[in-house]
Amino acid sequence: MNVYRLAGKFEKIKRSAVRHSLIQISDSGRMTVEECRKVLRFDENIIELELAKGTVTITGLDLKMKNFSDHGMIITGSLHSIGFDDSRKG
């Protein structure tokens, strides 16, 4: 049995089971995004993420991603706007 193949299949099943994402924003310019599937775009002014039900675009200044994992990430910086697009439903 190939452990890597089995782990890959498990990840596909786990991703298909996740139907929601959680976003928390604090006053200090900190945003937590849970269950992010993929980073589509990243620079210091725009971050675009693929979530379970579409995409989210964060715009601001001096944006940074911290603690990126398969469970989520923390975004810091001067957050200006957040946009949602559900046309890419997962």
Mean pLDDT of the chain: 83
- Is 27 part of any domain? yes
CATH number of the domain bearing residue 51:
2.60.40.2000
Q: What is the pLDDT of residues 52-83, one digit of tens each?
A: 888 999 999 999 998 877 678 999 999 999 99
Residue 89 has pLDDT above 60, yes or no: no
CA distance linking residue 57 with residue 36, whole number of Å: 12
Query: Which residue range forms the structural domain that includes residue 78?
Result: 20-85
pLDDT of residue 16: 58
Helix (H, G, I), strand (E, B) or coil at 8: helix
Q: How confident is the model at residue 17 (pLDDT cuts 50, 70, 90)?
A: low
pTM of the entire predicted model: 0.72
* CA-angle at 80, arms to 77 and 84, nearest 5°: 110
- Is 69 part of any domain? yes
Return the percentage of the chain with pLDDT > 90, whole number: 41
- Is 56 part of any domain? yes
- Is 2 part of any domain? no
Of 34 and 5, the one with more pLDDT:
34
What is the number of structural domains in the chain? Answer: 1
CA-based nearest residue to 55, from 25, 82, 18: 82
Dihedral angle over CA of 78, 46, 33, 20, nearest 10? 140
- Is 1 part of any domain? no
- Is 31 part of any domain? yes
- Is 42 part of any domain? yes
pLDDT of residue 90: 45
